[in-house]
Amino acid sequence: MIRLGLTGGIGAGKSTVAKTFVERGAYIIDADKIAREVVEPGSEGLAALVEAFGPEILAADGSLDRPALAAKAFVDDASRQTLNGITHPLIGARTQALLDDAPADAIVVQDIPLLVENHTAPFFHLVVIVYAEADVRLHRLTTMRGVAEADARARIAAQATDDQRRAVADVWLDNSGAPEDLAASAARIWDERLVPLELNVRARRVAEPVPGLVASEPSPDGPSARLVNRLWAVAGELATAVDVTDAAAVELQVTARDAGAAEGLVDRLADGGFAPAGSDLYGSCDPGRPATVRVVVG
């Protein structure tokens, strides 16, 4: 199983990519859908919100009145923390339950609008960013979704910048054109990158690089910086350092805490997308992102 993080600015066209992936067999986990489910009428989450913020946050039919909740929950940091303290654990538990139910050979696509803002990119095998210029997104929001222009501009401004998204992107899908063009690009990524990546992770096999995919690297700084963060997420407490030894060749080094930790890293790196490739060496399972990782004992 591999986990893919899917995100993009509001109005960028993320739903088109998600639909394409689902049509090709993705196991989808929609963060927005989960956030709604955990506060449905009769739920533990809604009861906790009413206790914290009062019955005024309920609509006439007993469902959550989101504007009324926002008026109370976003007045100060303490109220916001109360809201997050109620909803985030419930969302996390439901997400984990869905992950636990995923088939062993699944390509799990986690659709998360605030993936970049929440700093969760390192915890995925791959991150796909759907991009469209701000004026294109503004036009879509105001004409297709009926959002007031001032509100649309505020929502766009409150989200991550394009540079922040590029820094965590393994795949950058440009949606400046027609929806069918975006769907075709997403289908190619699925067929040429995601399917081989999942197979390679399951087989613990180093990928054969696909030149066209490698050439589409989204970040001008290359993949090394985000791979440092990903390797930290994979290694956790077993590592004392993660360093780039050759940025051009995408070679990195993980310093294990001790010999036992180095042994424990074998499975963690393989499950995280870096298959054994020789004595203390590991290679990327991703055909679009060649990388070599050496493990040393500190």
Binding residues for ATP: 11-16
Write out the binding residues: 11-16
> What is the residue whose two structure tokens read 């899908």?
173
User: Max CA-CA distance within the chain?
Assistant: 65
Q: CB 119: neighbour CB atoms within 10 A?
A: 11
DSSP β-ladder status, 251-256 and 274-278: unpaired
| Nearest one of 34, 42, 51 to 86, comparing CA atoms | 51
CA distance 8 to 14: 6
Residues 281 and 294 sit within 8 Å (Cβ to Cβ): yes
Question: How many C-beta neighbours within 10 Å does residue 233 have?
Answer: 16
Tokens in use for 235? 């290694």
d(CA 148, CA 249): 48
**Token pair for residue 64?**
């959550």
Residue 9, classed as helix, strand or coil, is coil
**Backbone CA torsion sign across 128, 133, 137, 138:** positive
Token code pair at residue 247:
């940025």
DSSP letter at 76 equals: S
DSSP symbol at 209: P
Q: Which residues of 170-197 are buried (b: 16+ CB within 10 A; e: fewer)?
A: bbbbbbeeeeeebbebbeebbeebbbbb
